[in-house]
Amino acid sequence: MALTPIIFFETTDKEKRYLKKKFDKSFELTFYPGELNEVNSNSISGAVIISPFIYSEINAKVLEKAKKLKLIATRSTGFNHIDVKKAQSKNISVANVPYYGENTVAEHTFALILALSRNIHKAYVRTTRNDFALNGLQGFDLKGKTLGVIGAGSIGVHVIKIAKGFGMKVITHDPKPNHILTELLDFQYVSLEELLKNSDIITMHCPYNQYTHHLINMGNINLVKKNALFINTARSGVIEPQALYYAIDNNIFGGAGLDVFEGEDLLKEENQMLTKNVSVEHLEVLLRRNILLRRENVIITPHMAFDSAEAVERIMDTTVENIKSFLAGKNYHKVI
Ligand code: NAI
């Protein structure tokens, strides 16, 4: 019997051990720690199923190399790293993991909010230097403050629940309001403009697509309430980079907690940049990122909001289910 070849990209040794236990001998499993991209795209020519994470850039050129591919089972919620139109044109299905980590990402969102609201990051650096002075560390209460949630889907709703536990008022912007939820959780849907004007903390939980590209931009950034905190665990493209830098420079944002940021993918290549031809645009992105890193009121985490032990196991379990259900002709989490 012919084996079904599956290639997993971006897997750690721990994930590899876990996944190996989930498939029987009718599968031929290959694991690469690195991402799939145009350079190594020949590797997928014989694969029937591939399973990437978000740093693999599965564009049209990469998909051209896929001769037998039937399913891309991304181990993530977002799938903007996959050219789904091209996949569709080649009759390749795409599956994702829609629900693995609403609490996980929501908890990280609050880790960023609390770090900024209570200056935990500054205090940590100071105490490691044996400095226990309080000056400059006074924070503010979350109780009574207004949280603006942009995108009240799985993660956004979990953020709302946590916010209610802190005694916050919540306003939300989402083109698909769910009025049962507003009654259950006691929050209000408002326009984007109202949300920007009235939120003490703005947190992004919408997907990144053509409609949410630069949702916050130079045209609406001045609506933001002075000194609001800005939290982004969604995707960097939901805010125009210029608007983010302008807001931080001009105290429009009193602070920012960014799990996703412009040029995340370039970071990995930073060490090779001195020996490679690098475009001016790339250098500008890195320069902007380095400026942000030096700001005391900006906390950057390396796209790790999803990364709890429990969530990663849920991701792998759903991916395995997606693959097995696809092959058995059953329902799975189908993107296209
Ligand atoms: P979801 O699909 O359950 O919810 C997204 C919500 O955004 C929906 O209610 C939708 O109606 C709303 N929305 C769509 N367009 C909008 C717009 N123009 N303005 C405001 N709201 C809009 O997705 P989920 O699971 O809550 O995830 C949200 C995003 O979080 C993902 O698309 C992904 O990019 C990001 N994410 C980040 C992770 C990380 O590790 N940093 C991990 C998991 C997800």
Span 246-271, pLDDT tens digits: 999 999 999 999 999 988 766 665 55
The encoded tokens of residue 187 equal 């929050």
Ligand 1 mean position, distance from CA 73 (Å):
19
Whole-number Å distance between alpha carbons of 4 and 327: 10
Whole-number Å distance between alpha carbons of 170 and 201: 10
207 contact partners, CB below 8 Å, separation of at least 6? 78, 80, 151, 153, 234, 235
Q: Does domain 4-100+311-328 have CATH number 1.10.10.10?
A: no
Write down the pLDDT at residue 267: 64
The encoded tokens of residue 167 equal 């005694």
The encoded tokens of residue 20 equal 């190996």
Whether the CB of 155 sits within 6 Å of ligand 1: yes
Whether the CB of 132 sits within 6 Å of ligand 1: no
Q: How many helices (H) and strands (E) does the chain have?
A: 12, 12
Whether the CB of 109 sits within 6 Å of ligand 1: no
CA atoms within 13 A on the CB side of 102: 15
Q: Are 261 and 239 in contact (CB under 8 A)?
A: no
Of 79, 205, 215, 232, which is best to mutate to test ligand 1, by the most ligand atoms within 8 angstroms of its C-beta?
205
4-100+311-328 against 102-300: fold identical = yes
Whether the CB of 212 sits within 6 Å of ligand 1: yes
- Enumerate residue ranges in the chain where pLDDT < 70: 265-277
Q: Are 33 and 55 in contact (CB under 8 A)?
A: no
Domain boundaries of the chain, sorted by first residue: 4-100+311-328, 102-300
The architecture of the domain spanning 102-300 is 3-Layer(aba) Sandwich (3.40)
Q: Is 264 tagged catalytic?
A: yes
Where would I find the H helices in the chain?
13-22, 60-64, 84-89, 102-117, 120-128, 154-165, 179-185, 192-198, 241-249, 264-267, 280-293, 309-328
Q: Are 202 and 256 in contact (CB under 8 A)?
A: no
Whole-number Å distance between alpha carbons of 155 and 181: 14
Whether the CB of 101 sits within 6 Å of ligand 1: yes
The pTM for the full model equals: 0.87
Of 77, 176, 308, which is best to mutate to test ligand 1, by the most ligand atoms within 8 angstroms of its C-beta?
77
Ligand 1 mean position, distance from CA 84 (Å):
18
Whether the CB of 234 sits within 6 Å of ligand 1: yes
Nearest CA to ligand 1 atom 42: 306
Nearest CA to ligand 1 atom 30: 234
Nearest CA to ligand 1 atom 19: 174
Q: Which of 108, 264, 289, 333 is catalytic?
A: 264
What single letter denotes the amino acid at residue 76? S
